[in-house]
Structure 1
């Protein structure tokens, strides 16, 4: 196969991907806006938001990971032109996402005492608890939104989630500004104001998504006559069988990143704040790869439904190549501006925080250099995961990600941070090791499966 066969797919991939990417970036911006606005209050407040979000990210990974089961089933049914299967998957998926959102909210509330057991700074915990309680509640509308989003993505209607996220960001920034700093008639609520801004924007996001999708003529049939009597055990079982391993895949990665927050918290609040800055920057660029991963899932599912496995491989490799190019560009930007980017997150005019802030910047600039390299591995592994989900292969990748992140990545992070002078840098070297191992083994899995599919197709013909 020539390079031209792959680059020929770039145009369509990008047209499908850019709304998803903008939506993902916008989604991440909600957290980054919190970090930037709260960072102006001080490093303790920034560390508190970081600690609270570390627990939220764990729950969120389960919700988002589970909801991805909806997209490949809908995309495959769309290629097969099976509207009954699309409708059934959407209704069952949204039902399960709603239940899961409530469960995750309750789980976070019950898990709040864990912050003391993690030996985090006491002043950080005091600020983190009320912030965490409110943001945990926002998981309910957010996971419901995921049900709508994954349904629309499966139908290749990727723009609607982008519109919802843009609206949510506008609302979020405005509410944050008024409630964090106490503008006009609103009280000064600090980081609790940031949490309330997140809750309100996410409620509006799910309402917006429902209204905009249900009013489209071609989708009206999927929104009519919902009944709990139509919930069938077989369909629930199929979505859960795909969603649970996908949720665990995402959980293994997110918990690894959450432990980086906890490990850096053990080192000190300046390391924890620096870690949050590096995470915020790398999360932004990761959203581009995540968007391409969803495109991969859609297009691979379509080709699977059409039983065109040779085209499936061409499509997949074109997205691999596109992701690699983008991540290398971002890596170059991180290297070039590693000492400048951390200043975005801190108020250097605050003389009371000057010593802490200078230490945060010194640490963060080193972490951004490591992030420049590991985001390449991170981008590859998430795009390959999208391909495997499109093939509805989720159990073996679940085991692969566990081994890569927890038998390779975490031990390296723990040892280098606790027993060497690398400290926070050691944590991120461990992240790099885990992500690189995941990228290699997941790609080998994809290569094995697609080769088997092509061989079986040839033998049947």
Structure 2
């Protein structure tokens, strides 16, 4: 094949992925705004949000990872024009997402005392606990929203979750400003105000996405007259078989980044705050890759429904190529501006915290060099993972992600991240190793499976 066989797909890939990217960026932008506003209060407050969100990231990874099982099933049913099958999988997926949201809230709520056993700075823990109480409850609307979002993506209606996320962001920013700093007569709640903003915005996002979907002809019949408790064991089992490994895949990756937060906390509040800055910036570029990953999942799922495996492989590679090009651009951006980007997060006019802020910026700027290097491997692994989910191949990729992040990445982070070794930069070298291993092994898996499908189709 010629290069144009892949590049001609860029326009449609971008059209499908761009709203997902913006929606994903919206989730990260909530954290971005929280971090900037809370960063004005001090490095201890920023570290507290980082610590509290580290528990949230683990729970979110399980919920969001599980919800991705809905997308390929809807995409396959949509390509086959099987409405009843599609609606049934959506209903069962929404039910499981709701149950999972409640369970994850309870898990995080009762896990708070673990913070005291983690050797984190005491002032950081004291600030993090009241923040986590409210943010944990927001897991319920967030995972329900993900159920609607993944369904909408499966129908290739990727714009509507984006609109809901934009509205949620606007509400979050306004409430943050009012409640963190106590503006216009509102109480000054500090980082707890950020938690209230997050909770309110996520409730409104669920309502608004449902409102949009029930007003569109293609999706109205799916999202109305749902017999929520009329459940089928086979459909539940199918979703659990796809969703549980997908949840573990995302959990293994997010958990190693969360471990990086905890390892940074062992070095002190300033390394932890610096880690949060670098993590927040790199997670924003990762959401672009996540958007393309959803496009990969949808388009591969469509071709699987049509049993057109040659076309499936060509389309997947076109998405991989686009992802690598974008990741390279982000890598250059991080490398060139690694000294400047972290300065957005702290207040250099705060004379009292100037020494802390200066140290945080110095550490964060070095971490962005590591983040620049792993942009490409991070992008490849998530794009190929999306394509494998589109093929409904989830068990072997789960094993691959565990090996990559926890048998290779984490030991390197732990060993090189000690204070007498490379410190914070060593932690991120472990992240780079895990992501690169995952990218290579997942690509080998996809290449093997698609060639096998093509050969079996010819026979």
Superposed counterparts of 1:111-150, under 5 Å = 111-150=111-150
- The match for 1:338 is 338
Correspondences of 1:18-97 after superposition (within 5 Å) = 18-97=18-97
RMSD across aligned positions (CA): 0.8
Match of residue 227 from structure 1:
227
Separation of aligned partners in 2, 1:26 and 1:427: 27
Matches within 5 A, 1:229-248: 229-248=229-248
Task: Give TM-score, length-normalised by structure 1.
Answer: 0.99
- For the residues of structure 1 that align with 2:258 and 2:407, how far apart are their CA atoms? 16
Displacement over 6 Å in runs of 4+: none
Superposed counterparts of 1:187-202, under 5 Å: 187-202=187-202
C-alpha separation in 1, matches of 2:376 and 2:311: 25
1:402 offset after TM fit, Å?
0.2
SS in structure 2 at match of 1:338: coil
Answering whether residue 275 of structure 2 is matched by residue 296 of structure 1, we say no
Q: How does 1:257-272 map to 2 (within 5 A)?
A: 257-272=257-272
Unpaired segments of 5 or more residues in structure 1?
Answer: none
Residue 230 of structure 1: how far off its partner (Å): 2.5
Q: Deviations over 1:9-31 (max 9, x none)?
A: 00100011111111111111001
Moved more, 417-426 or 111-120: 417-426
Contact 2:300 2:387 in 1 (8 A): yes
- How far off its partner does 1:419 sit? 6.5
Q: What residue is the counterpart of 1:362 in the other structure?
A: 362
Q: 1:2: Cα distance to partner?
A: 1.0
Unaligned residue ranges in structure 2 (runs of 5+): none
Aligned to 2:327: 327
State the Cα deviation string for residues 293-347 of structure 1 (Å, max 9, x = none).
0000000000000000000011000000000000000000001100000100001
Structure 1 residues 422, 215: closer, same or farther in 2, change over 3 A? same
- The 3-state SS of whatever aligns with 2:449 is helix
| Distance in 2 separating the partners of 1:376 and 1:367 | 16
> Deviation per CA, 1:376-435, whole angstroms, max 9, x where unpaired?
111110000000000000000000000000000000000001274310000000000000
Q: Find the counterpart in structure 1 of residue 15 from structure 2.
A: 15
Normalising by structure 2, what TM-score? Answer: 0.99
Match runs of 1:393-432 below 5 Å: 393-418=393-418, 420-432=420-432
Q: Does 1:164 align with 2:164?
A: yes
2:16 and 2:169 mapped to 1: Cα distance? 22
Kept in 1, the 8 Å contact 2:210–2:223? The answer is no
Distance 1:229 1:365 in 2: 52
Q: Which residue does the alignment assign to 2:179?
A: 179
SS of the residue 2:157 aligns to: coil
1:231-286 deviation per Cα after TM superposition (whole angstroms, max 9, x unaligned): 11110000000000000000001110000000000001110000000001000000
Residue matched to 2:350? 350
Aligned to 1:205: 205
Partner of 2:287: 287
